[in-house]
Structure 1
Amino acid sequence: MEAVNLKVEVDGKAPVASIHGTLHYGKQWPNNVYTGQEYHLANNTNPADDFHVYAVEWQQDEIRWYVDDVHFATQRSSGWYSQYVDDKGETVNAPNDAPFNQAFHLLLNLAVGGDWAANVHNKGIDPAVFPQSMLVDYVRVYQCANSPSTGAGCETIDDNAVLVSGKTLTSAAP
């Protein structure tokens, strides 16, 4: 889940009020790629105004994003890939569902700056918004009891969620 420049007014329009479900994959940064989906909360609510429940369901060959129990996007393993450099310095294509076929960790990050903020909305960081804070009430991690190895059987799926096409190794090539 990502957001950038929340509450910034752009060209006199309503303040930025969207989050993004984003998947970063491919090669190691800075040669990685990313795909995802923007989402606006119900009733034009700005995510910065109150607590919200963000969730990611990670199931074999599929990742889904949710906000406040709304499933807004899905990306399948047919739309991601992974490459790594082996001991000989050669680029190797990882298995089809890599890197999302192994254990991960959670990262909660209040990032400031970077390429995204520098190139969207009002282009940059407004120093008048500081100090800032990220308040986290709780973090929970669950494993599906129906099928712990695949995650199948516990999913909550909305047929209206956007299917993010992602990028394949062929479509991401320069």
Structure 2
Amino acid sequence: MNVNNKYSKIQRISGLWCLVALFTILLTACSADETQTVATFTNLVMEDNFDVEGRPDASIWGYDIGTGVNGWGNQELQYYTSRPENVTVENGVLLITAQQEAFENSQYTSARLLTKDLFEQQYGRFEARIRLPYGQGIWPAFWMLGADIDENPWPGAGEIDIMEYRGQNPTVLIGSVHGPGYSGGQAISKEYVLENDRFDTGFHVFGIEWGPEYINYYVDDVLYNQITPEDVTGTWVFNKPFYILMNLAVGGTFVGSPNAETQFPQSMIVDYVRVYEQ
């Protein structure tokens, strides 16, 4: 892929998207159902356009390193690093790259970035423009955790999955919430199916708009789901600050292991991350 040519196109499309998105938000916030709660979030409070080469902005992003406990709780196969081989900014995009390599007793490496202790917010619009990887056992995610997780372990702290995706199903993504009584396989989720295209062939904007009693899920300008306290099967834990995570996992219970057809390296390519408040 010619990243230089690709990013020149990104710049043109991104500018047009900003105008379209602002106009759409001011109208109805893309409501797919007149009974759904929507709001306008127009005050930009955090933005990373990945326009400085090298390491991601250390004032926004930190890293999880290693394999966690039981493969980060999911039997994942990768070792997360902060090496440039796994995470770097090039030509105006963030590259989170999974490699097949022997490293620290693991057979794969990748990266997981997070804003913990650097940026957190209660409510607002959280969005990222991403081109996803593909293949059996490839598991990218853009998600959030309750900022009180150190004192209130998962799932008590709450989790909002803005986007997660099985690389072997490149037309389908999933938006979910996890909390006490509805975590793991019992998460409250909904799929979004991309018609006549795949998420690995181009960039898409994945976002939520989050208020006191609802979380709206968007792909591009489509509102495809709303989750409210009435939808969860336990305590609603989404009235407090959350922080952001982006990662590219390999293997695990959600996607299964890579197979002979899985190609490496695979990269999750992020054009921007933006957060708005009302």
**TM-score, with structure 2 as normaliser:** 0.38
Partner of 2:229: 77
- Structure 2 residue runs without a partner (length 5+): 1-162
Give the alignment partner of residue 125 of structure 1, picking from 233, 239, 258: 258
Superposition deviation, residue 29 in structure 1: 7.0
**Residues 1:110 and 2:110 are matched in the alignment:** no
Which residue type is aligned with residue 223 of structure 2?
H
Which structure exhibits the higher relative contact order, with contacts defined as CA atoms closer than 8 Å and separated by 6 or more residues? Answer: 2
Write the distance in 1 (CA, Å) between the matches of 2:229 and 2:182. 18
Give the alignment partner of residue 211 of structure 2, picking from 53, 56, 59: 59
Cα deviation digits, residues 60-94 of structure 1 (max 9, x gap): 11111101110011110122266xxxxxxxxxxxx
Cα deviation digits, residues 44-64 of structure 1 (max 9, x gap): 211111110111111111111
1:21-170 → structure 2 map (5 Å cutoff): 21-26=175-180, 33-42=186-195, 44-80=196-232, 96-98=235-237, 100-118=238-256, 124-126=257-259, 128-144=262-278
Distance 1:67 1:140, change over 3 A: same
For these two proteins, the number of residue pairs brought into alignment is 115
Superposition deviation, residue 24 in structure 1: 1.6
- Structure 1 residue runs without a partner (length 5+): 9-14, 83-95, 119-123, 145-174
SS, match of residue 77 in structure 1? coil
Q: Is the 8 A contact 1:26 1:33 kept in 2?
A: no
Write the distance in 2 (CA, Å) between the matches of 1:47 and 1:132. 13
Write the distance in 2 (CA, Å) between the matches of 1:48 and 1:132. 10
Write the distance in 2 (CA, Å) between the matches of 1:27 and 1:35. 10
Q: Is the 8 A contact 1:26 1:80 kept in 2?
A: no
**Residues 1:17 and 2:198 are matched in the alignment:** no
- 4+ residue stretches of structure 1 with deviation over 6 A? none
SS, match of residue 134 in structure 1? strand
**TM-score, with structure 1 as normaliser:** 0.59
Cα deviation digits, residues 106-129 of structure 1 (max 9, x gap): 1111111111112xxxxx323532
Give the structure with the larger strand fraction.
Answer: 2
Superposition deviation, residue 27 in structure 1: 5.8
Distance 1:81 1:105, change over 3 A: farther
Instruction: Let me know the Cα RMSD of the aligned residues.
Output: 2.2
Which residue type is aligned with residue 49 of structure 1?
T
Superposition deviation, residue 137 in structure 1: 0.6
